[in-house]
């Protein structure tokens, strides 16, 4: 079940292909991809990384096939992989043919590096015979020299034309089982190129900001580019290109899709207020401790850590569960309803325990099991904090509450 995807621009309808048993394009959900960093000839090491990627949310994994030993490794990896394997081909068309012999479920060809028409057609013909799709992986950094010079650089038009040229070669041998990427390390160029590609092709698009670099900058670049396009309804499969453990790529891809409502929540989503002068605890430390305690449990819920009891439960009522800090206490709430008040030094422990029960028993059961005195105790703490006044100069809600209590006004102030 997809969540709030209908709040975004509707997905652009593309033709559908299949990478192994994973549908890409059409009405299929957006899939997550990553790439191994091991030597493909190291079968056990590569498989270990593939399993880690699959556990982190990758639906498809790409492995390099740059030499005969890598192709032989793929022959052993493919039948043991939990997800479809795509062979990454850069310079040698014979490696593409060898990867097909190894049984891969997809190929990625870089038209900027593999340029001989006859070789490209040979690979496409072999892929057609085997029912294996190909990604035309255009990259601004390796654009064909003629296209670069004619367009005056790696422009969106040049990137799209590179893909069109490859498609024309494929068409001559009757092959159209294709997805396309037009990646760039510049976020602005990448967005413009994919917008043009979406107007030009009906093939599924593979989104990515190439060479984005290490986190956090790489995550920001990838999210800016991929997230912008997905919000516009463009994109069928995605990959973060990070200078980091590829597991971080898979996690980021999965989390981005979940945050946009394009995939059902599979793991933890922890939200927390940025803290302010009203906070009675170190919100950053509590949020970090909660993240560490909950992350490995992989609970498919949204958890909130809020710095004060005045607005916390209300502001985070959309969360499945959360805790708001008062003076030496934590107000534990489910969907905005206070269910327990716990000592400050037990906040994280209580949050984790209740989260596990919530997943096991459901919302209604945990609300029914709430401490009947908790709501009144929480309200007393809240009113005590209001009496003290907020130290935050922007605490308008606190001030309005005090004004209403002083004047006896129960309705909203007139504008």
Assess whether 246 and 175 both reside in one domain.
Answer: yes
On whether residue 40 sits in a domain, the answer given is yes
Same domain, yes or no: 49 and 19? yes
Integer Cα distance of 161 and 200 in angstroms:
10
Residues 252 and 284 reside in one and the same domain = no
What's the CATH number where 370 sits?
A: 3.30.413.10
Q: Kindly state whether residues 170 and 284 are assigned to the same domain.
A: no
Can you tell me the distance from the alpha carbon of 269 to that of 186, in angstroms, rounded to the nearest whole number? Answer: 29
Dist. CA 310–CA 26, nearest whole Å: 47
Residue with the two structure tokens 């929540």 = 265
Q: What's the rounded Cα separation, in Å, for the pair 403 and 415?
A: 15
Give residue-wise pLDDT tens across range 21-39. Answer: 999 999 999 999 999 999 9
Contacts of 146 (CB under 8 A, 6+ apart): none
Residue 32 lies in a domain: yes
Domain stop point among 259, 280, 309 = 259
Do 318 and 348 lie in a common domain? Answer: yes
Q: How many domains does the chain contain in total?
A: 2
Q: What are phi and psi of 238, to 5 degrees?
A: -135, 155
Between the two ends of the chain, the Cα-to-Cα distance in Å is 42
Residue 281 in 3-state DSSP?
A: coil
Asked whether 107 and 87 are in contact (CB, 8 A), the reply is yes
Report yes or no on 413 lying in a domain.
no
pLDDT digits (tens, 9 = 90+) for 300-333: 899 999 877 776 777 778 889 999 887 778 889 9
Same domain membership, residue 129 and residue 27: yes
Taking the C-alpha atoms of residue 359 and residue 301, their distance in angstroms, rounded to an integer, is 8
Mean pLDDT of the chain, nearest integer? 90
Residue of 406 and 56 predicted with greater confidence: 56
Give yes or no: residues 276 and 235 share one domain: no
Same domain, 250 and 273: no
DSSP string, 162-226: HHHHHHHHHHHTT---EEEEEEBSSHHHHHHHHHHHHHH--S-BEE-BTT-BSTTHHHHHHHHHH
Query: Is position 178 within any domain?
Result: yes
Do residues 357 and 334 lie in contact, with contact meaning Cβ atoms separated by under 8 Å?
A: no
User: Which of 238, 259, 280 is the last residue in one of the domains?
Assistant: 259
pLDDT range class, residue 266, cuts 50, 70, 90 = confident
Burial (CB count within 10 angstroms: exposed 0-12, middle 13-18, buried 19+), residue 249: buried
Judge if 18 and 48 occupy the same domain. yes
Q: Do 184 and 140 form a contact (C-beta atoms < 8 A)?
A: yes
363 or 393, which is more confident?
Answer: 363
Residue 105 lies in a domain: yes
Distance CA 253, CA 35 (A): 12
How does residue 396 score in pLDDT terms, banded at 50, 70 and 90? low
CB contact at 8 A, 126 and 87: no
Contacts of 173 (CB under 8 A, 6+ apart): 121, 124, 125, 128
End of a domain among 232, 259, 286? 259
Residues 74 and 111 reside in one and the same domain: yes
In a domain, 409, yes or no: no
The tens digit of pLDDT for each residue in 165-207 reads: 999 999 999 999 999 999 999 999 999 999 999 999 999 999 9
**410 has a pLDDT exceeding 60:** no
Reply yes or no on whether the pLDDT at 2 is more than 50: no
Average pLDDT over residues 327-345: 88
Residues 191 and 81 grouped into a single domain: yes
67-80: per-residue pLDDT in tens?
999 999 999 999 99
pLDDT of 5 above 50: no
Phi, psi of 35 (to 5 degrees): -135, 140
Res 19 pLDDT > 90 = yes
Q: Is the pLDDT of residue 390 over 60?
A: no
Q: At what angle do helices 283-295 and 347-361 cross, to 10 degrees?
A: 40
Range of the domain at 290: 269-402
The pTM of the whole model exceeds 0.85: no
Considering the domain boundaries, does residue 177 fall inside one? yes
CATH of the domain at 81: 3.20.20.20
Residue 201 lies in a domain: yes
User: Strands (DSSP E) along 195-313, which ranges?
Assistant: 206-207, 237-238, 269-272, 302-306
Cβ pair 206, 239 in contact under 8 A: yes
> pLDDT grade, residue 378 (50/70/90)?
confident
Give the largest Cα separation in the chain, rounded: 85
pLDDT at 279 over 70: no
- Residue 96 predicted with pLDDT over 50: yes
Same structural domain, 153 and 295: no
């Amino acid at each position: 079940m997809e969540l709030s995807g209908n709040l975004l621009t509707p997905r652009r309808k593309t033709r559908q292909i299949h990478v192994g048993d994973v549908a890409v394009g059409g009405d299929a959900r957006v899939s997550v991809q990553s790439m191994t960093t091991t030597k493909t000839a190291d079968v056990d090491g590569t498989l270990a990384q593939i399993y880690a990627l699959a556990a982190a949310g990758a639906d498809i994994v790409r492995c390099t096939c740059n030499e005969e030993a890598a192709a032989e490794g793929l022959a052993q990896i493919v039948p043991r992989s939990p997800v479809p394997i795509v062979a990454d081909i850069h310079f040698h068309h014979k490696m593409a043919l060898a990867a097909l012999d190894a049984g891969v479920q997809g190929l990625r060809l870089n038209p900027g590096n593999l340029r001989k028409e006859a070789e490209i057609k040979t690979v496409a013909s072999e892929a057609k015979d085997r029912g294996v799709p190909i990604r035309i992986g255009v990259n601004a950094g390796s654009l064909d020299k003629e296209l670069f010079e004619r367009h005056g650089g790696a422009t969106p038009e040049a990137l799209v034309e590179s893909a069109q040229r490859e498609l024309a070669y494929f068409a001559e041998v009757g092959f159209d089982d294709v997805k396309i990427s037009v990646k760039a390390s510049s976020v602005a160029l990448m967005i413009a190129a994919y917008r043009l590609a979406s107007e030009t092709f009906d093939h599924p698009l593979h989104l990515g900001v190439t060479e984005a670099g290490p986190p956090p900058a790489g995550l920001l670049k990838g999210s800016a580019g991929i997230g912008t396009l997905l919000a516009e309804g463009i994109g069928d499969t995605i990959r973060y290109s990070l200078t980091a453990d590829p597991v971080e790529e898979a996690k980021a891809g999965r989390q981005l899709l979940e945050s946009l409502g394009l995939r059902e929540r599979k793991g933890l989503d922890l939200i927390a207020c940025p803290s302010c002068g009203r906070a009675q605890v170190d919100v950053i430390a509590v949020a970090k401790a909660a993240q560490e305690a909950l992350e490995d449990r992989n609970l498919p819920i949204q958890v909130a850590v809020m710095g004060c009891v005045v607005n916390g439960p209300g502001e985070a009522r959309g969360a499945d569960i959360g805790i708001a800090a008062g003076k030496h206490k934590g107000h534990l709430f489910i969907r905005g309803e206070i269910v327990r008040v716990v000592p400050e030094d037990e906040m994280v422990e209580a949050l984790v325990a209740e989260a596990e029960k919530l997943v096991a028993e459901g919302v209604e059961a945990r609300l029914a099991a709430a401490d009947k005195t908790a709501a009144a105790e929480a309200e007393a703490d809240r009113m005590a904090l209001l009496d003290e006044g907020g130290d935050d100069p922007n605490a308008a809600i606190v001030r309005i509450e005090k004004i209403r209590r002083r004047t006896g006004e129960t309705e909203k102030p007139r504008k």
